[in-house]
């Protein structure tokens, strides 16, 4: 049986990846992490979406230790999410080590359920400046996991070279644009759908949707062309 595990936050990107995976694999598992994040409602959103979409299993994993170690505006309520970069050149919403931990634990879970594919919605083309969303990082982690477990795990990143408008096109190509638009949570302030309209995540999401709606034919064509190369 062809199985996949999707790292699933209940946001736009991971939901789009999950929708696609459900058309490509016989059995799809979703894994969501509780790391004491600022926008904790995403866990409930992920639970609802996983049930609605019919995944084989949805595991919510307690990794609140990360909250103790990683200081970020996404792990501390008293640190406002900023549009400006911090002194280290990164957004203050960057959670150091988050994707290292997420990929490692999801890889172990994939090993246990016999899934050879691990899917994550990270993106280098239209991202927030996080170093752990880069293609080089994912490939390095993939190699480490496969070697460390002696297991032919493949980490897939369907969104890696898509911009946000093309990610909306991808959702639309699976007839899931309304689902993603109205029922996912991308907002750093925990508001479902269009969000608060002010945080960096909402800005990126809204600009991408507007671009897609205004140039749907061209954006869809660009997505379809990239899809054949991914």
Question: What residue has token string 């949570």?
Answer: 185
- On whether 213 is known to bind a ligand per the annotation, the reply is no
What DSSP element (H or E) covers 118? strand 117-119
- On whether 133 is known to bind a ligand per the annotation, the reply is no
- On whether 140 is known to bind a ligand per the annotation, the reply is no
Strand partners, 154: 117
Strand partners, 6: 30, 119
- On whether 196 is known to bind a ligand per the annotation, the reply is yes
Inter-CA distances, 32 with 39, 81, 87, 105, 109, Å: 13, 22, 30, 11, 12
- On whether 193 is known to bind a ligand per the annotation, the reply is no
- On whether 15 is known to bind a ligand per the annotation, the reply is yes
Best CA proximity match to 84, nearest among 129, 133, 119: 129
- On whether 66 is known to bind a ligand per the annotation, the reply is no
- On whether 16 is known to bind a ligand per the annotation, the reply is yes
- On whether 17 is known to bind a ligand per the annotation, the reply is yes
- On whether 9 is known to bind a ligand per the annotation, the reply is yes
Contact 58, 22 (CB under 8 A): no
- On whether 187 is known to bind a ligand per the annotation, the reply is yes
**Residue 150 burial by Cβ neighbours in a 10 Å radius (0-12, 13-18, 19+):** exposed
Q: Which residues are annotated as a binding site for Zn(2+)?
A: 187, 196, 199, 202
Q: Which residues are annotated as a binding site for ATP?
A: 8-18
Q: Which residues are annotated as a binding site?
A: 8-18, 187, 196, 199, 202
């Amino acid at each position: 049986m062809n199985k996949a595990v999707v790292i699933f936050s209940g946001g736009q990107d991971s939901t789009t990846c999950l929708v696609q995976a459900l058309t490509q694999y016989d059995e799809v598992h979703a894994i969501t992490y509780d790391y004491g994040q600022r926008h904790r409602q995403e866990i409930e959103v992920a639970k609802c979406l996983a049930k609605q979409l019919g995944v084989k299993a949805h595991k919510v994993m307690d990794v609140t230790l990360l909250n103790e170690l990683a200081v970020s505006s996404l792990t501390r309520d008293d640190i406002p999410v900023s549009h400006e970069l911090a002194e280290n050149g990164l957004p203050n919403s960057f959670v150091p080590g988050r994707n290292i931990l997420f990929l490692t634990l999801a890889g172990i879970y994939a090993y246990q359920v016999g899934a050879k594919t691990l899917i994550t919605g990270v993106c280098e083309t239209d991202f927030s400046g996080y170093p752990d969303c880069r293609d080089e990082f994912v490939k390095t982690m993939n190699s480490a996991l496969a070697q460390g477990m002696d297991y032919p795990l493949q980490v897939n990143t369907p969104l890696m070279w898509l911009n946000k408008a093309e990610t909306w096109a991808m959702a639309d190509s699976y007839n899931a644009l309304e689902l993603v638009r109205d029922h996912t949570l991308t907002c750093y302030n925990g508001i479902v759908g269009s969000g608060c309209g002010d945080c960096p995540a909402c800005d990126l999401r809204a600009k991408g949707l507007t671009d897609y709606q205004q140039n749907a034919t061209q954006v869809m064509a660009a997505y379809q062309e990239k899809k054949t190369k991914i």
